[in-house]
Amino acid sequence: MSILNAMQAGVSGLSANAKAVSLIGENIANTGTVGFKRSFAQMVTINSGDAAGVRAQRASEVSAAGTNIMTRSATDLAIGGQGFFVVSKQPNDPVLANYMLTRAGSFSVDADGNLKNAAGYYLSGFKYDDTGTIGAVDRRSYGSLETINLGDVELTAAASTTATISGNLPADATGTGAAAGSFVSTVGYYNDLGAEEQLTLTWTPDPAIENRWTLDVAGGGTAYGTVEVDFHDSGATPAAPLLYTGPGAPPLALDAATGEMTITINNALIPQVLTIALGAPDTYDGITQFAGDYEPQRVTIDGSEVSDMASTEIDESGIVWALFENGVRKALYEIPVANVANVEGLQAVTGNAYQLTSESGDVLLNVAGNQPAGSILSNTLENSNVDLAQEMTDLIMVQRAYQSNSKIVTTADELLQEANNLKR
């Protein structure tokens, strides 16, 4: 190798180690950056005939996870395992090239209700429809994703459709030969507008026939009909319903085989239909008639009133739940976990994010917790994977390498000077 080649090799070493120092500086500066992945310099030999040198090739430890830290915010997210969040530069960005992957899950709600991280990127997911399903989505591209928005979420009123009733009627109140008082209970239900209405159930013991009761159903000034219920007094199912007798057409239609009353309530342009289960014959899953006291009836009914969202919850499967003031939980979005074949082939971009390349392979948007996707951890952030002690050690080594390469340059310069002095 000539003196000039030696000098060029030294210069290339200076340049490569300067780049290595720059990468170490980036790592140290981002020690506390959420989701940051350290970069380092890989030294690659340069050969050109008789001359040889070195250049620094940037590489990153994208697949190495940092430590998790707990937070108080439900929208602070980390991934327990492999994968990335999908984010976009703008809410519901129509340009698919503007979608990126990140592990930086420091999301918070902006003024428009969108989830946005500290870098200003918006979290994407699959939206649930009003039926509680996601439907057919493309999990091999970003085309089906929407920006997750938690603003102005309101539970649409759900009309009541079914109810079940259980409780006990006193057996010794029937067949006494004298009229006895009735027992009254109410069934509250929700109409299509979310307003609560009530039905009144009046249970009257038959004074002439033992184990027989008459049920009158009314509400809103309308008498819907009457049902007779006979109970077993012995056998395999004593005190269970034996026989139902009642009308078979609206406004009250009785199914004697199941013990269900279907009531047609004329409270709107399209009448509301409410099915009330009293309990199937020969079972104890509804009304019973044991001796003793009257037991107030317990009513279970569906439907809901209009209610504001009280809080948000995100589970390990990535489902974003809205918790409403009336106790109802509603699935809003699924946060997918994005996986690629080669994470080290991703291209780092500003904002602690990555873009797909030909080396990384295509994206696959998996359900969180299903291999190879990791689960989503709420109230958690992934810290940087930078080891400060390692960086300081590397800094010393690179500094010594830089100094050594500078000696090559100065030594080659002295040799050239001696060669110039030969002419004297």
Q: What was the pLDDT predicted at 420?
A: 79
pLDDT single digits (tens) 252-311: 999 999 999 999 999 999 999 999 999 999 999 999 999 988 999 999 999 888 888 889
pLDDT at 327 over 90: no
pLDDT for res 280? 97
pLDDT of residue 169: 96
Say yes or no to pLDDT of 89 above 60. yes
Structure tokens at 72: 């108080």
Give the pLDDT confidence score for residue 81 in this predicted structure.
93
> Taking the domains of the chain in order of start, what are their residue ranges?
3-62+385-421, 68-154+309-382, 162-301
Closest CA to 290 of 169, 165, 166: 169
pTM, to two decimals: 0.70
In this structure, what are the phi and psi dihedrals at residue 25, rounded to the nearest 5 degrees? -60, -40
Asked whether the CA dihedral 13, 14, 19, 21 is positive or negative, the reply is positive
* Residue type present at position 238: P
Label the pairing between strands 295-301 and 162-168.
antiparallel
Percentage of the chain exceeding pLDDT 70: 98
What is the predicted pLDDT for the residue at 103? 95
Nearest Cα to 59, choosing from 3, 25, 20, 99?
Answer: 20
Structural contact between residues 277 and 286, judged by C-beta atoms closer than 8 angstroms:
yes
In this predicted model, what pLDDT tens digit does every residue of 328-364 receive, in sequence order?
888 999 999 999 999 999 999 999 999 999 999 999 9
Q: In the predicted model, what is the mean pLDDT of the chain?
A: 92
Distances (CA, A) of 251 to 17, 188, 191, 248, 302: 88, 18, 16, 9, 20
Question: For the residues 228-244, what does the mean pLDDT come to?
Answer: 97
Instruction: Give the lowest-confidence range in 7-21, 98-112, 136-150, 236-250.
Output: 7-21
Q: What is the pLDDT of residue 77?
A: 97
CATH of domain 162-301: 2.60.98
pLDDT at 49: 67
Which DSSP string corresponds to 228-250?
EEEE-SSSSSTTSEEEEE--EET
Mean pLDDT of 300-327: 90
What confidence tens digit (pLDDT) does each residue in 106-136 have?
A: 999 999 999 999 999 999 999 999 888 998 9
Whether the predicted pLDDT of 424 surpasses 70: no
| Range in 63-72, 270-279, 303-312, 372-381 the model is least confident about | 303-312
Mean pLDDT of 212-235: 96
Q: Mean per-residue pLDDT for 416-422? A: 80
Residue 212 has pLDDT above 60, yes or no: yes
Say what the pLDDT of residue 180 is. Answer: 86
Burial string for 99-109 (b: 16+ CB within 10 Å, else e) reads: bbbbbbbbbeb
**What pLDDT does 52 receive?**
77
pLDDT of residue 70: 95
